[in-house]
Amino acid sequence: MKRFSSTAAALILAAFSAGQTAVVVAAPLPASGPTKVDWNLTAAQIGQTCDAALAKARTRVKAELSSHGKTFATVVLPLENLTADLSDDTIAQQFLFNVSTSRGVRDASLKCNNDESGFFTELSASPQLYAMVAAAKRSRTAKDIYQRKLTDLWLDSFKRSGAGLPAPRRMEFVKLSNQLTDLQNKFQQNLGNDETTIEISPAQADSLPADLVATFKKNGSNYVVPVNESTVTRFLNNERDENARKTYVLAYNNREAAANTPLLEQAIAVRDRLAHLLGYQSWAAYQLSDRMAKSPERVTDFLSQLDVKLLPKAREEVATLTALKAKDTGNPNAVLNSWDFSYYDNLLRKTQYSVDNNEIRQYFPVQHTIDAVLNVYHTLLGVDFKQVSPADAWNPDVIEYQVSDSKTGAFIGTTYFDLYPRPGKYEHFANWPLLPVRTQANGAYRAPIAAIVGNWPRPAAGKPALLSHDDVVTFFHEFGHNMAALLATAPYETLSNGFVRDFVEAPSQMLENFVWQPAVLKQISSNWKTGQPLPDDLINSLIRSRYVDDAYGTTRQILYASVDMAYHTSGPHVDTTSVWYKMSQELTPMPTPEGTHPQASFGHLMGGYDAGYYGYLWSKVYAQDMFTAFLQGGLENPQVGMRYREDILQPAQTYDPDIEVQRFLGRPMSPNAFYQEFGITPQATPAPKR
């Protein structure tokens, strides 16, 4: 067991305050029923209803500006309600950009997104509203923690949106913010419309699973392979022909390169100018100023120290796979390339750990897995799920559930699962908190809506869709986000909509651990032919393989986070390709292939994680520590689960994450569980002073 200096641990703990704070949690309010949304709008209807909703919102803004209000009730609450009402009125118009099969609908939805973003940009840059919210704060008329926190968040939003700038700089800020929105949306639109494919011969297809090959179209005798999220793992894990793997990886890492690389570089330049307009040295400094990490320097230290400790182990892992390739190919001078990693990692797991991913898939048919995962969350968090059939949704593929409280029977909200790829659809796996929880102006509770959008491989004819264990882990993760979106109880949408960015992944990352526990694996697995759960020997092998090549995988995550930081701390002119390639040589044992542009399909950089990708590793420190409460109290202990629901999920953004985590754990956060996962033992670090 390696020893680890206390410095990196202190970097986390330094961002953490240990004082005990009384936490007020709003009780769930009974909803009258599901929130109704028309998901089947035409392009024309989207344009008309979006324009009408924005016109209505602008009229309400004018009324607020003329009210001369100076209290929470006359300034902050009307502001919160008018923006939340706009979200309610345009949720389908906004969301269909990600899921509609109609190019016209997606284009109309994109326009609505841009128009609404422009509205919010102008609203949050208003010096008059900024002054009114500041006056409301000074009035001390906010009566409870929710009203005070809401006031602070709105005030901070105005500050960070240029409302305090002199008029010429404020106008430039608004113009550039709208330009940034256009760049980001165009980037995502290009990815959604991407149709990259490669062709492989029948001989090259021989090593691929038959049910995967059955989903491919043909061009003569060759198979046409879609190069996207639904095929990448299974193809690279199983394709024996190195040339085919190389062709796939080069294509995968060049998706939309010509279109998206300049869009990203333009966005970086715009962000840098926006940061300087607000007095920050870089976009990263601006983004991190209101997060737990606080500064780019602290993030860089955290990432670099972790990378230094993991690189030796990562190099050993690559050496092991290189030797396996040499043996497999009969070439003692074999070199492991990036397109070889997945194949030989999978081969290592099969030969040395008896883990065959294709065998494991037989135990995770989609519907059973969904039902079993819902049952785990039912036990853990005290919620019931009732499937709605047929689903009132945007596509026949979508599954809908109504969610209610197990103890009281009170309706909570609606969730949708949209799990298979379609042309034009968002191509990754993510949860959308479509309508966060809120109490409306009339006091009525408006039930929330959330949706998980993913791209699992479609089933072959005559078989159910089958999932890998990694797919199940991802679903468990995203459903953690889903529950956070539905179970928040803060009365205002701004408070109930998630967490601060570098904590937002922690609750769902914590829940990933459950899918590595034998009892849970037994519960959620069922062979699609026999109905039998995973056998003990396969479960034990799977668990033993959990950290195989994990050091290398983590250095890749460090690379992504470090590239993100470099892009957003290096000024307005960044050669994103050369930066990526240089850092891949420094931070991982295997550089990115020359001639590729992986940044062009790195959607996080243009989807809200800019100068924020580090949050996956940063929040995992909190996630692993929170999981210790379940290890000690029982994996599916409803009492521990209810504490988690009440202390973490229900307050959402009402309190700083360190306060919520401390209340849940009964002690300050410790990074030990995180570092021990890598075989690194932090030295004891003094608790922060109270």
Q: Is 573 a domain residue?
A: no
Query: Could you give the number of structural domains in the chain?
Result: 2
Residue 126 in contact with residue 158, Cβ under 8 Å?
Answer: yes
Residue 395 neighbours by CB under 8 Å, 6+ apart: 99, 101, 418, 422
User: Which regions in the chain score pLDDT beneath 50?
Assistant: 1-22, 683-690
Quote the pLDDT of residue 162. 96
Quote the pLDDT of residue 442. 85
The CA dihedral of 658, 664, 670, 671, to the nearest 10 degrees, is -80
Quote the pLDDT of residue 30. 58
Residue 277 in contact with residue 172, Cβ under 8 Å?
Answer: yes
Domain boundary among 501, 526, 544: 544
**Residue whose structure tokens are 């968090």:** 381
Q: Is 443 a domain residue?
A: yes
426: containing domain: 366-544
Strands 222-226 and 197-200: antiparallel
Quote the pLDDT of residue 682. 64
Q: Is 115 a domain residue?
A: no
In which element (H, E) is residue 387 found?
Answer: strand 383-388
CATH number reported for the structural domain that contains residue 378 in this entry: 3.40.390.10
Instruction: Quote the longest CA-to-CA distance of the chain.
Output: 81
Q: What's the token pair of residue 187?
A: 């980037």
Q: Are residues 538 and 392 in the same domain?
A: yes
Say how far apart CA 300 and CA 563 lie, in whole Å: 10
Quote the pLDDT of residue 23. 56
Strands 449-453 and 430-435: antiparallel
Say how far apart CA 517 and CA 631 lie, in whole Å: 10
Say how far apart CA 66 and CA 258 lie, in whole Å: 49
Per residue in 449-495, pLDDT tens? 999 999 998 888 888 999 999 999 999 999 999 999 999 999 999 99
Per residue in 119-140, pLDDT tens? 999 999 999 999 999 999 999 9
Q: Is 292 a domain residue?
A: no
Q: Is 388 a domain residue?
A: yes
Say how far apart CA 294 and CA 297 lie, in whole Å: 9
Encode 176-198: b = buried (16+ Cβ within 10 Å), e = exposed. bbbebbbbbbbbbbbbbebeebb
C-alpha dihedral sign at 129, 132, 137, 143: negative
Say how far apart CA 57 and CA 652 lie, in whole Å: 26
- Report pTM: 0.89
CA distances from 346 to 7, 251, 353, 357, 417 (A): 35, 21, 10, 8, 29
Quote the pLDDT of residue 287. 96
Q: Are residues 248 and 371 in the same domain?
A: no
Say how far apart CA 195 and CA 256 lie, in whole Å: 9
Q: Are residues 374 and 521 in the same domain?
A: yes
Quote the pLDDT of residue 312. 95
Q: Is 285 a domain residue?
A: no
Give the number of other Cβ atoms within 10 Å of residue 553's Cβ: 17
Q: Are residues 240 and 388 in the same domain?
A: no
- Cis check: omega of the bond before 390, within 30 degrees of 0: yes
C-alpha dihedral sign at 592, 596, 601, 605: positive
Quote the pLDDT of residue 459. 87
Residue 347 neighbours by CB under 8 Å, 6+ apart: 324, 328
Domain boundary among 507, 529, 544: 544
Domain boundary among 544, 573, 604: 544
**Residue whose structure tokens are 């209810």:** 642
Say how far apart CA 438 and CA 494 lie, in whole Å: 9
Q: Is 215 a domain residue?
A: yes
Quote the pLDDT of residue 3. 29
Q: Is 72 a domain residue?
A: no
Strands 222-226 and 217-219: antiparallel
C-alpha dihedral sign at 124, 130, 132, 138: positive
Q: Is 85 helix (H, G, I), strand (E, B) or coil?
A: helix
